[in-house]
Amino acid sequence: MNSSLKQISLNLILIILAFSIQTCVFPLIPFLSAYPNLMLILIFSFGFIRGSASGMTYGLVAGLLMDLSSGGALGFYTLFFIWMGYVNGIGTKYYYEDYITLPLALSAANELAYNLYLYVFGFLLRGRLSFGYYLINNILPETIFTVVTTLAVYRVFLFISRKMEEIGKRRDTTIV
Amino acid sequence: MKNTRYVLFGLSVLCVCMIGITTLNSGLLNPLRDAVGYVLVPIQSGINRAGSGIYNEVRNLGTMKKAQKENEALKARVDELTEENTRLRSEQQELERLRELYELDSQYMQYNKVGARIIAKDTGSWFSVFRIDKGSDDGIMENMNVIAGGGLVGIVTDVGANYATVRSIIDDSSRVSAMAQQSGDTCMVSGDLKLFNEGRLKLGYMEKDDDIKDGDMIVTSNISEKFLPGLLIGYATDITVDYNDNLTKSGYVIPAARFDRLQEVLVITDLKNAGPEFNEQ
């Protein structure tokens, strides 16, 4: 009981930390023209490492956080993120411990899908048609930053995930 | 595995329903938003304060030399400006006298303002929305105008107990009813993600005969629904007669506020519909 509470709070802290860094710290760095999407990396990594159910839960919590702090309609980000967590969870089958190529490819694919989602519902529906321009000036820079950050952060998340699994296992043994 | 799929579809349907409901009535969310705000805002303002402290420290070291040189230049400039100021002050007195003569209300620039610090920005580059550390507890209300550096920055779109969300005028969906200060001809200033990368806003809805020229001051108009009249937006540039109908003109506005360096803003606590005269409540 105690250790599962510990796991939940650890996960929550991780999400809030990622969110705060993304909204408060990155905008302060003046030479960044785009910044990496940490929330996205967090959700898809945990989905990919731990499976659909965890990915979806992560997506749900992170999405709600973003929805409630963005001031838009509730559910806009949540809808995308639960699907992202779920779909990346399917990839768990192909998951090897120290294998970085697939996470990088996933990171790029997720980032593109996410930006496409924002473009279609935030811009295309209001008649902004020049997708090519947005692709070059908004989507690609952010994707590149995100992929590079994934390279650095993915192993940290992997480490945290393993630690959390250990906490979970310790609980099982103490019960038995 | 089956179960997760059911949960996924259930949540998706729920999300779509919530998007529908909250688009129609966003007031439903206020208690939830407040709750999230109580947790998040202290963290965000803490990180922001620490982050900008470090950043400023680093920048200070780098700019010390430049600052010394600048200091000398500025001292000379201060003398110049003091002289100019005395001249302007006497002119101001003359203006006031003339205004009294004409019984004109000097209604501009008398708005009540509250200072606020920007603590967070949007998660990506698509929307130009930011969050400030003052909310309904400090008297902030929806539709209040936000200014900084002498120019209009945006409008409060959403208020929590201890934070408020501001949509800047450079946001792609922002439209501000404006006019040229000299001629009073109305126009529309709209944000455009594409143009903002070039540091501009779009200026449209002008008749061909309107007297708006390059370099004119563009201010918020008297007929705007949410923006107080007479707030400086920026300066007109590249105004051309539209090629396709030859009846309208369009151009660009260079905003007066520096959006890339915003840290503190002023929220004008007078609301347009109340008017500056009725601010006692």
- Residue pair A138/B145 in contact (Cβ under 8 Å)? The answer is no
ipTM confidence: 0.76
Q: Is residue A71 pLDDT above 80, yes or no?
A: no
Mean pLDDT for all residues in chain A: 85
Has this prediction a pTM greater than 0.95? no
* Alpha carbon distance B254, B239 (integer Å): 12
Helical H runs in B131-226?
A: 193-196
Q: Which residue has the higher pLDDT, A85 or B126?
A: A85
A75, B19: Cβ pair inside 8 Å?
yes
DSSP H or E stretch at residue B90: helix B30-102
Q: Coil, helix or strand for B56?
A: helix
Q: Which residue has the higher pLDDT, A107 or B60?
A: A107
Please tell me the predicted confidence (pLDDT) of residue B278. 41
Query: Residue B6: which residues within 8 A CB-CB, separation 6 or more?
Result: none
- The two tokens of residue B195 are 């143009």
Domains, chain A, with CATH or none: 2-15+34-175 (1.10.1760)
Q: Coil, helix or strand for A172?
A: helix
- The two tokens of residue B100 are 């009294």
Output DSSP code: residue B275: -
Percent of chain A whose pLDDT exceeds 70: 93
Interface of B with A in 16-55 (CB under 8 A): 16-19, 21-23, 26, 29, 32-33, 36-37, 39-40, 43-44, 47-48, 51-52, 55
Q: Which residues of B touch A53 (CB under 8 A)?
A: 4, 7
Please tell me the predicted confidence (pLDDT) of residue B25. 78
Which one of A22, A30, A118 has the shortest CB-CB distance to B126?
A118
Query: Residue A126: which residues within 8 A CB-CB, separation 6 or more?
Result: B172, B173
Q: Coil, helix or strand for B237?
A: strand
- Residue pair B159/B146 in contact (Cβ under 8 Å)? The answer is no
Q: How far is A71 from chain B (nearest CA, A)?
A: 6
Please tell me the predicted confidence (pLDDT) of residue A98. 67
Mean pLDDT of A150-170: 85
Q: Is B8 on the interface with A (CB under 8 A)?
A: yes
Please tell me the predicted confidence (pLDDT) of residue B104. 43
- Residue pair B248/B102 in contact (Cβ under 8 Å)? The answer is no
Could you give the C-alpha distances from B222 to A25, B81, B110, B148, B229, in angstroms and in order? 39, 32, 16, 20, 5
Q: How far is B196 from chain A (nearest CA, A)?
A: 11
Q: How far is B95 from chain A (nearest CA, A)?
A: 43
Mean pLDDT of A80-96: 88
> pLDDT tens, A113-142?
999 999 998 888 888 888 888 898 889 989
Confidence of residue A30 (pLDDT cuts 50, 70, 90): low
Please tell me the predicted confidence (pLDDT) of residue B21. 85
Q: Coil, helix or strand for B187?
A: strand
- Residue pair A22/A35 in contact (Cβ under 8 Å)? The answer is yes
* Alpha carbon distance B181, B179 (integer Å): 6
| Of the candidates B224, B220, B215, the residue with the CA atom closest to the CA atom of residue B232 | B220
**Would you give per-residue pLDDT tens digits along chain B (281 residues)?**
568 888 888 889 988 888 888 888 777 778 888 888 888 888 888 888 887 788 788 877 878 878 888 888 888 888 888 888 888 887 888 787 676 655 544 444 578 888 888 888 887 778 888 999 999 999 999 899 998 877 899 999 989 888 999 999 999 889 999 999 888 888 999 998 888 878 899 998 888 888 888 888 899 988 888 898 888 899 999 998 888 777 888 899 999 888 877 888 889 888 876 444 443 33
Could you give the C-alpha distances from A106 to A34, A146, B98, B148, in angstroms and in order? 20, 11, 69, 41
Q: Map tokens 């902030």 to a residue.
A: B140
Which residue of chain B is at minimal alpha-carbon distance from A28? B52
